[in-house]
Amino acid sequence: MAQLFPRSADMWLRVVLFLLFGGLIALFAACVVLQRSDYRTDEGWTVDQPVPFSHEHHAGVLKIDCRYCHDNVETSAVAGLPPTHTCMSCHSQLWTGAEMLAPVRQSLAQGEPLRWNRVIELPDYVFFHHGVHVNAGVGCAECHGQVDRMPLMYKAKPLTMSGCLDCHQDPAPRLRPREAVTDMNWQYEGDRRAFGEALMRKYHVRAGNLTHCYTCHR
């Protein structure tokens, strides 16, 4: 009987099967890597901005307090991003001709706010409030990392649900005096837990129900 398929067809079938199988393994490996990687949580990624604003320079070297630019952070849910005139309080005198600052001058001239792109954002179904944390003595660095060393802003900590819950289960050892919330170098030599527990009493931090779903999903 004449061969219906040439001998080489068998070989091709093997090659195709081999590629298919290999591809599936590669896809699976890629999923595992992505799931674990920073890609899912955006950790460590920078974002394009109208002006390459440096926290390292302004907050680190110049030591401008966070609240000078994020002035709602103690009272509101949102910290707030600085309006153009906050930049211009210095840059109308400093670096007035710099190309890098052209979008800031243009924003002032046209009365159009600068459009900063957000770096850290929670999904809409999560409730968050800055003021409550700041007043309980939770430092910016607990959630945003060493901002004073960031030439460009990036997300230093994952801020996922388990990240929030880690602290909500046991906030005491992560509290500090309110005066030090924006201090990027604050440290405590001694019994941090006992110190934190005293702060909890002082600031009337209600422990206990902080892990209830409705704290963050309402």
Distance CA 128, CA 121 (A): 10
Q: Is 86 in the site for ligand HEC (CB under 6 A)?
A: yes
- What's the closest the beta carbon of residue 47 comes to ligand HEC, in angstroms? 7
- DSSP annotation of 82: P
CA distances in angstroms from 181 to 17, 47, 84, 128, 201, listed in the order given: 60, 25, 25, 17, 17
- DSSP annotation of 92: T
Region 15-34 residues binding ligand HEC, contact defined as CB under 6 A: none
Q: Toward ligand HEC, which CB reaches closer, 14 or 57?
A: 57
Terminal CA-CA length for the chain: 75
Q: Which of 7, 97, 110, 118 binds ligand HEC (CB under 6 A)?
A: 118
Q: Which of 119, 177, 178, 180 binds ligand HEC (CB under 6 A)?
A: 119
| Alpha helix stretches (DSSP H) within 115-191 | 130-135, 140-144, 161-169
3-state SS, residue 155: strand
Region 120-159 residues binding ligand HEC, contact defined as CB under 6 A: 120-123, 126-130, 132-134, 136, 138, 140, 142-144, 147-148, 153, 159
Region 31-70 residues binding ligand HEC, contact defined as CB under 6 A: 49, 51-55, 57-59, 62, 64, 66, 68-70
Region 157-186 residues binding ligand HEC, contact defined as CB under 6 A: 159-161, 163-165, 167-168, 171, 174, 181-182, 184
Residues 6+ apart with CB under 8 A from 76: 129, 130, 131
Q: Which of 42, 80, 105, 197 binds ligand HEC (CB under 6 A)?
A: 80
